[in-house]
Amino acid sequence: MTRVLVTGAAGQIGSALVPALREAYGEAEVLATDLHPPAADTGPFAVLDCTDGRAVAAQVAAHRPTVVFHLAALLSAVGERKPQTAFEVNLGGLFTLLEVARESRFAVFTPSSIAAFGPSTPRDGTPQDTLQRPTTMYGVTKVAGELLCDYYHTRYGVDTRGVRYPGIISDSPPGGGTTDYAVEIFFAAVEEGRYTSFLKRGTQLDMMYMPDAVRAAMEVMEADPARLVHRNAFNVTAMQLTPERLGDAIRRHLPDFELDFDPDPLRQSIADSWPNRLDDSAAREEWDWRPQFDLDAMTDDLLRRIRERVGARR
């Protein structure tokens, strides 16, 4: 990668990926884009609607990227409230970008999600290649996006790659996903000493700490293409968590932390349709994927970061 463009750069993943890309490849080489400008000047930025083909083509012509990280999307819970918009942004935006990539010949990273699976998918050790029948608009757009990326690679030779992310935990505000509780719980623990989970006890989901999510995106784009059998939608994961496991990990640092439960029917139904554990052996075999953070290492690092952030605001 020499020149990079990022769509959806202000989102949870983008806000962490852009600094990592700039550290690796140089600030001037990485153009961040989103619907609205950032509150502060953080480097090269352009306002961009990823569903506007002419605007996308213009930014590509101006910046001349060799790879685009396409992160613009509506997440699962928001997508259920706005399914038509989710379809337009998640799938229409990807189609628009792939059409520009077909003409301009740049590589494309597209994140898929654990939401691409559904209740009929094998739940424990979900294979790389298996039945996918999601029950949310977000999941539908992710499955269609995986197939679309495969098509543009086999039909037009576009270098499309991607991963299926589990829930991502970070010190950035969540964006309306079903796994948001795993971010909110850390902020609530530091600021209030208690948290009410919108998922019920025992709800197990795959999770990953943001530094690993960023590494996965960068590493799959740098991988030797000769080794890639799947190219798109690699299962990746790091840990399997329930709200109680997170609560116990936090209590090792904050003994008085209290965890309550008030399940939200919509988000609980979405979580219940997803696998308990992904099998990421294909990513490990084809591009040497390995997570670096387990639950304890993540909790240590994240609580430190959030304490620093909260202290800076006070």
Catalytically active residues are 138
pTM of the predicted structure, to 2 decimals:
0.93
**Distance in angstroms between the alpha carbons of the first and the last residue of the chain:** 40
The per-residue pLDDT for 57 is 97
Mention every residue, 6+ apart, whose C-beta is less than 8 A from residue 63.
Answer: 3, 5, 31, 46
Task: Read off the pLDDT of residues 158-170 as tens digits, 9 standing for 90 and up.
Answer: 999 999 999 999 9
Instruction: Give, in order, the Cα–Cα distances in Å from 253 to each of 103, 181, 189, 210.
Output: 53, 19, 10, 20
The per-residue pLDDT for 312 is 61
The per-residue pLDDT for 313 is 65
The parts of the chain modelled with pLDDT lower than 70 are 1, 174, 312-314
The per-residue pLDDT for 1 is 63
The per-residue pLDDT for 76 is 86
Structure tokens at 312: 């800076």
